[in-house]
Structure 1
Amino acid sequence: MNRSSRFLSILYVLTSGLLIWTAVLQYRYGPLWAGLLFTAAGAVPTVAVVRESVIGDLRRALTELTARPRRHGERLVDTIVRGELGAACCDRWWTSLGTDHDAACAHRARNSAA
């Protein structure tokens, strides 16, 4: 996590804490609907903290991917596609959008894409 992400995460946690404290005050002294509203609003910055950490993980993964040695003439896109195809379960799974598996596939459980 870089400095700006860390700063934003701290700001989000502080905001979430203050919103939860406001919700507690509303539950005690104010209308119930306002307490529910502040409780829901207190969850939003928590989602933002998770989002910042995911973005940091993606940045690290991209840095590792770009630093990896590639074959002569191979582009980064080729490396990404090769990795995705290697992670695919089987050919039928790939062509049926994750709903079917080949008979020899070790992951035969049917997964619905819907």
Structure 2
Amino acid sequence: MNRYSRFLSTLYVLTSGLLAWTAVLQYRYGPLWAGLLFTAAGLVPTVAVVRESVIGDQERALAELAAGPRRPGERVADAIVHAEFGAACCERWWTSLGTDHDAACAHRAPRSSAA
């Protein structure tokens, strides 16, 4: 994680803590529905912290790919595209967004098409 991601994560954790404290106050002194609402709102910054860590992992993987071996004259973007094409197991998988496989494909199990 870079400094910006750490700052955002700290801000998210602080916001989540304050929303949790507000939820506790609502459970004790306010209506139940407001306590439930603040509890649900307190989970949103937690998801954001996980998202920041995933983005950091992706940036690290991209940096490793860029630093890895490349063919002579190949740019970083070309290396990334080459690696993504290599990750597709067969033509039908690629064209069906990861739902089908060719009859000769060794990975007959469906793979996720999530990017």
TM band (smaller chain)? 0.7 to 0.9
1:50 matched residue in structure 2: 50
Gaps in structure 1 of 5+ consecutive residues: none
Could you say which residue in structure 1 is the equivalent of 2:64? 64
Q: CA deviation at 1:20?
A: 1.0
Runs of 4+ in 1 over 3 A off after TM superposition: 109-113
User: CA separation in 2, counterparts of 1:51 and 1:96?
Assistant: 27
Instruction: Verify: 1:20 aligned to 2:17, yes or no.
Output: no
Q: Return the offset for 1:48.
A: 1.4
Aligned length: 113
Instruction: Give the TM-score, by structure 1 length.
Output: 0.83
CA apart distance, 1:112? 8.6
Distance, in Å, in 2 between the alignment partners of 1:41 and 1:52 is: 18
- CA–CA separation in structure 1 for the residues paired with 2:17 and 2:52: 18
The question of whether the paired residues in 1 share the 8 Å contact of 2:66 and 2:79 is answered with no
Unpaired stretches in structure 2, ≥5 consecutive residues: none
- How large is the RMSD of aligned CA atoms in angstroms? 2.0
Identity %: 82
* Deviation, structure 1 residue 106: 2.2
CA apart distance, 1:38:
0.6
Q: How does 1:62-101 map to 2 (within 5 A)?
A: 62-101=62-101
Indicate how the Cα distance of structure 1 residues 91 and 75 shifts in structure 2: closer, same or farther if over 3 A, else same.
same
Contact 2:26 2:34 in 1 (8 A): yes
Q: Deviations over 1:21-42 (max 9, x none)?
A: 2111111210112112111110
Distance 1:111 1:62 in 2: 22
